Structures are given as C-alpha cells and as structure tokens.
A and B are shown apart, each in its own frame.
Chain A
Amino acid sequence: MSAQFRPTDVVDFIVVGIGAAGGVVAKELSTAGFRVVALEQGPWRHEKDFQHDEVTVMYRAGLTNDPKKQPNTFRKTAADPAKTQQAVEYGCMVGGGSVHFTTNYWRFHPEDFHERSTLGPIPGADLQDWPIAYDDLEPYYTKAEWDLGISGLGGSNPFDGPRTKPYPLPPMPVKSTGVLFERAAKQLGWHPFPAPLAVLSQPYRGGVACVHCGFCESFGCEVGAKSSTLAALIPVAVKTGRCEVRPNSYARKIETRKDGRVTGVIYFDAQKREIFQRAKAVVVCANGAETPRLLLMSKSNRFPQGLANSNGNVGKYLMFDNGAFAFGLFDHPLNEYKSVVVTRVLHDFYRSDPKRGFYGGGGIDGRFDYYPAGFALTGMPSDIPQWGAEWKRTFAQYYTHMGGALGHTSCLAVEQNNIALDNQVKDAWGLPALRVTFKNHPDDMKAMQFILDRQMELLHTAGAKKVWVDPTTNVETTYSRHLMGSCRMGNDPRSSVVNRWNRAHDVPNLFLVDGSSLVTSGRQQPTATIQALAYRTADYLQQAAKRNEI
C-alpha cells in the first residue's frame, strides 16, 4: 500500500528526482522507517510501456527530457551567444537514467579519488582530490551491486580496486563483438574482461533473467531484467507504506526559513498547480544539470545567489561525456542487435600517464549499439553516398556484419564550464531554461584521440575488413548524457558545494547526491559511483537523523 501524505504533513525527507540516486535514497530511507515523498518530473512508466520502438524512443525523446517542453541553450564560452540547442539529456521518468542506460556498471579506480595529489595541477583545469577515498566507497559499491543485481566476474579486471565481495550474478553470455574484442586485445597484450552490467543474467530477488531482446541502450526493459531503481528498488520503497512517489511533479523552488534551514519544496503537479510539500530535510537527486538549476532557482533574501551557493560554485566545473565510436565491418554476421550492448571491456589505458603528455585516459568496450534507422542515418562511412541505391545496398549488407569499439574518456573540471539559468528562454512551466557553457579542455581531446587510436588498432587486429569513425564524435563535446561535477564534493566550503557526506556546506538539512557531486569524471560510466554515493549518503542520513544531527 503506497503511502499518501498531505502537503501540510512534515515528512522526514523529500527526494527530488527519483532516478539512479534518488531511487536508492528513497528505498534506503523508507525501509529504515523514515517517511519519504519523492517528486519526479517525469511519468511513472512500467514494463508494459516499454516497446521496441526506435521512432518514439530515439527520434521523439520518448524516455528523456523533452527539448520542446524543456529547452536548453548552449554556448562554448561566455564570449559566445547562447543558442537554443539541446546539450543535456537525461532519463525523465521514475527510475531516471537507471531505466534507459546502457547498463555498463564500472567502479571508479582507487587512483580516481586522488589524481590531484599524484599528478599535480593541470593548467587550464581545476583538478582536485575527492574528500573521500575508494575505500570509503567500496562497501557501498558492493551494497549497490548486491541490492540491484549486477552481473560480472569479480577480479577479472586487473586494474580494478580491491573488492570485498564478488558480483552477485555471473557475466552475460559473450556476444560476437566480445569474442572478437577479447581475441584481438589478448593478441595486443591487453587485458579484456567480462563487462559488469546492471542486467540480471539469472533470476534474482524476484526479477527474471534477461531474454536478450536487444533493446537496452536508451530503452526501458520490458521484462524488468535491467537492474534499474524502477525495477529493483522503488517497488521495495513503495511497499514499506512510508514512501510516496509523485510522478509528473516539477520542482520549482526549495523553500527556506530565516535561520537558513530548508522547509520543503514548491512544485507544479501534473495540472501545473503549485503545491508546497513540507519536510524536515531535502535530498536533491535531480542530476548534474537539474540539481544546480533548482538551487539557482531557489533564491531568497538569505540566499540571493541561489541556495547553497554562497561561494558561487553551484553549477561550475561541469563535466561531460567524452569518447568516440569506431565501427568495424566483418566477414560474417555478428547480429549485434541481439542481447545486451557490451560483453567485453578493457581498462589498460584508464590510468593517466604523464609520459603521454596529457591528463587522462579511457576505458574501451566492444559494442555495436546502433538501432536500424540510426545506423542508416548516422553510421555509414563517409566514402559512400548518403542516400540512394548504393547507400541502401550498403546499410542492408552491413547491418548484421557490424561490430565496433566505444571509448569512454576523461573530462577535466574547468571552472568556466557550467550550468546556469537562461532568463531569455523559458520552459513550459515558465521557468528559466538551463544554459550550458561547455568547451573541452585540450587534454580531453588528446585523451579521446589517444583512446580512439587504440580502438582502431583493436578493430584492425580483430580482422575488420573496413574500419571507420563516427563523424559526429571525436569533435568537441556539445551534448552529454553524463552530467557530472556541477555541485562538487569537497572539504573546503570555499571551493565546493557539498561536504564529504553530501551535505550542503551552507544548509544543514539539504543534501545533494547525483552526478553533480563528482569531483572527477573517472572514465565516464558514472552510474555505479553515483549509486554508491547515494547508498553512502542514505546510510549517513539514517545515522545522523537518529542522533538528531540533521
């Protein structure tokens, strides 16, 4: 029986955004006995709503933020005019990005947490250590893997940090890309390993095993075998009778009182009626773009620059999703349209190596995740015509014979890259649009190229008879699905937004946990780290609430 609270009820916690992080927080707090209201922008979809429909999902932004209702503006630098152009994409539904993500579930490496100490400062960037170490997060990585149901082979990645438990489920069956990737990587002396994935390879805690339908990337799972918070955690939260999920609820402002504590959240319901829900504390998990936007919209006399923003750092140090895709055409059919996206990964070039002359590195995975129309429209090599008989023959012959390798590369934190409000453009609720300012640090581009060269080497070694690069990647990033770093963690209240427990430095009963907390980008694939942080924050909230320290 789902809980139902009145706006005047002072619940224990409001969670804004019940996605990858918010789903964890809502489940952990409600099962621990706290009363939780979760506000979610998007609708509450269920397995029956997820279909193999590329038109709706890919062309019409069926599961993501709708650029028609939620426009954003983009510019590379403050000197450029901001143009209305979609720059951020996120899962807009109960379960958020955990519903439609590819399911790569990489832990960050121990060195990710102290790169500033080991590498020193990087000119033109603001590389910082995290206020926590890998060992602080390890128990929560493990908790996430076991709570959600992650498939993989513990210990198979020689570059991973130590782990206290293996994965709860064995890896998914290897696909043809995985076989070719592994063979080539070993020939090159590299260390491929089975992909850790948020997919059930076997039945787990009431969830059914993956049926290999092939619609993971960007889609919701129609059988519930993707280990999203929607499938694995939110039903548990609802069942406690202490968690009320309110879909189609668009947060406008976090309200504060004179002493600077937050008192609740003002939001628009599905009919665009304004409602004020009261709470003892607020946890914002709205992602690395919407979390800073909500704080910046929550201005008051006490917080004239926006909430938790006395140092002006809210929205700054935004980090994006970097990496390029390389296509490989093979003699025999791979049929990559079947089953999960990735089955083999390598982290040999993950660590930053000063000898290369630039910061960063990347992980590489074997995949070909193009749906049919997307492949014909954007995947064809540029040396053939892009419409007509020859093009048709080519995409028809290539589709089943394609493999590929995707690079996931580092993104440096740069102060000028940020999320701000654009008062010239309004969303469908009359609120200022997100304005994104983002230009890659030169080392981002060098890392992307370095990793792309390794991807090409791998595909050639695997015996691809033709190799080419997606022309839309390996250029400066202007669009991202990984939204990181915009309210980063730190010990110093002058240079960070939240402390080591994800509590806002400025506001004792306000917590932020999602991609915005990340101090460095790792090598992308941030979901596991975001969820580990969410488990850690939820654990802290329970302890602190019991001690009356919130």
Chain B
Amino acid sequence: MNVTRRDWMLAAACWTEVLRAQSQASAKFAWFEPATATEIEAIAAQIIPDDDTPGAKAAGVIWFIDRALADYDQDKRQLYRDGLAATQAKRAELYPGSTSIAALQPDQQIALLKAIEKNDFFQQLRTHTVLGFLGHPMHGGNRNQVGWKLIGLDHQMQYQPPFGYYDAEAARGGKK
C-alpha cells in the first residue's frame, strides 16, 4: 500500500489529536470528582457559553475552579457540595427522568439556572467562572488568553501612547 504524503499528514494530525485528548484525560483534578466537574462545567458553560466565540469550556474555567477549591477557597467547598445537591434536586423536580445537568438541553439548563440564580452557590460559581475566564492564566483558566482576547485586551507588559482612539485623535490635532 502506498502511503501518500497527504495520508501521513492526516495520520500525524490524528495522532496530535489523540495525544492531546490523552493528556486532557490524564490531567487529574485536584479536588473535583470527574462526574462533579462535568456538572459544574455544564453550569459554567451557560454562564459564559462557548458560542461563536470561546467561552468557559475553551478557557478551561473548570480547571481554575478546581485549583481554587483545592487551595485558597477550601472554605467554599461546602457551598459547592450543598449548592450542587440543591441544584440536582431542582433539576429532578423540573425535569423528572433527567439524569444530569450536563445531559439537559441548553434551554432546560438555562431554565434551571434561572431558578437558582439568586442563591449563594450560583453567585459564587458565577464569580469563579468569570475569574477563570478573565483572570491571569497562571491560575489555570483563561487558556491561551482566550478571555482577554475576546474583550479586546491585548496583554503586554508595557504600552506606549496613544492608547485609544480619542487620545490618538487629539494628538493628530483633532483630525479624524
């Protein structure tokens, strides 16, 4: 069988994908049970959806939350335990026969979260999701700076004037 260059490249590309998938699978959570992480990630992905632009999943928000709960936010663990349990109870009430938050349809997930959006658990998860999306990548989220790129923040250690449209315009003597 003749192996063409194109076949080889496809195979290599596949291998890269396989390796990436393996490295993701072998990365272990420091605090979450994998099944819990799937549920939390499903909620985070409704707070900041991955739609036509990257969202909580692409940013790796779940890894940020895992590290927070393993380290400096240990006092929030109980809130997560209790909050997720209450959310599951609400899910079972709203959608009898459903098996998990992650398995709900997106509109069902949104309806479920609207029912809990005022509670402390949701508010804490919202805070964590945003920090994991827009915080410094050193904490495990905002992977490849997808959050910063989305909002137009070009992260550099230093800048030079002009900084924005209006000061540039003023520097040109008011000419557009």
Contact = CB atoms under 8 A, between A and B. Distances in A.
Interface of A: 51-56, 59-60, 68, 173-176, 178-180, 211-214, 222, 330, 332-339, 372-373, 376-377, 386-389, 392, 395-396, 399-400
A51 B131 contact: no
B8 interface: no
Given A175-B167, A178-B167, A335-B164, A388 B46 contact: yes
20 contacts: A59-B127, A175-B167, A176-B164, A179-B167, A213-B158, A213-B159, A335-B163, A336-B163, A338-B163, A339-B159, A372-B151, A373-B134, A376-B134, A377-B127, A377-B130, A387-B126, A389-B49, A392-B48, A396-B152, A400-B152
Contacts of A55: 131, 135-136, 139
B47 interface: yes
Interface of B: 46-49, 51, 53, 55, 72, 75, 110, 113, 117, 126-127, 130-131, 133-136, 138-139, 147-148, 150-153, 155-161, 163-167, 169-170
B167 A392 contact: no
A173 B151 contact: no
B131 A54 contact: yes
Given A55-B135, A396-B150, A396-B151, A389 B164 contact: no
A400 B165 CA distance: 10
Nearest to B128: A59
Nearest to B156: A213
Contacts of A337: 153
B49 A180 contact: no
Contacts of B156: 213
A458 B120 CA distance: 37
What is the interface of chain A mostly: helix, strand, loop, or mixed? loop
From B127, B136, B151, B166, residue with most partner A Cβ within 10 Å: B166
A318 B75 CA distance: 32
A213 B156 CA distance: 7
B167 to A, nearest CB: 5
A426 B153 CA distance: 42
Contacts of B55: 392
From B159, B160, B161, B167, residue with most partner A Cβ within 10 Å: B167
A389 to B, nearest CB: 5
A337 B164 CA distance: 10
Contact of A399 (B138, B151, B170): B151
A388 B75 CA distance: 27
A374 to B, nearest CB: 9
A91 to B, nearest CB: 20
B136 A51 contact: yes
Contacts of B127: 59, 377
A174 B152 CA distance: 21
Contacts of B110: 388
Contact of B164 (A51, A333, A395): A333
A409 B88 CA distance: 47
Contacts of B163: 175-176, 212, 334-336, 338-339
A388 to B, nearest CB: 6
A372 B148 contact: yes
Given A175-B164, A213-B158, A334-B165, A52 B153 contact: no
Given A175-B163, A388-B47, A400 B135 contact: no
Given A176-B166, A179-B170, A334-B165, A214 B159 contact: yes
Contact of B135 (A53, A173, A336): A53
B46 A387 contact: yes
Contact of A377 (B117, B126, B160): B126
A332 B165 contact: yes
A9 B157 CA distance: 45
A64 B155 CA distance: 25
A54 B47 contact: no
Given A174-B170, A176-B167, A388-B110, A373 B130 contact: yes
A212 B159 contact: yes
A174 B55 CA distance: 34
B117 A387 contact: yes
A214 B154 CA distance: 12
Minimum-distance CB pairs A-B, first 6: A332-B165, A176-B164, A211-B158, A176-B166, A372-B134, A399-B151
Nearest to A174: B167
